[in-house]
Amino acid sequence: MAYGSKGLTKLEYGCYLAASLAHLMINQQDAVGLVTFDTKIRRYIPSRSRVSHLRVILDELVNTSPGDESAGRV
């Protein structure tokens, strides 16, 4: 996930996409959750449909970093 070109990694791209979808879904009053993982589950955020829940998801996406194996390191 640390691989990328033109200054944007796969992880960053995935975070932007997840943030955009979460924003759209919460604005439609749908529930949104998030699971971050590499070789094991790192963080589980259960689904909620409150606007304040979007901040929890966005904070987790900002603070997410690739794990050892997903970063291409062995």
**Structural domain boundaries of the chain?**
7-63
How confident is the model at residue 4, as a pLDDT?
61
Mean pLDDT in the chain? Answer: 86
Q: Which of 4, 74, 3 is nearest to 39 (CA)?
A: 74
Neighbours of 11 (CB within 10 A): 18
Please tell me the distance from the alpha carbon of residue 53 to that of residue 31, in angstroms, as a whole number.
9
Q: What is the pTM of this model?
A: 0.79
How confident is the model at residue 1, as a pLDDT?
60
Please tell me the distance from the alpha carbon of residue 13 to that of residue 74, in angstroms, as a whole number.
23
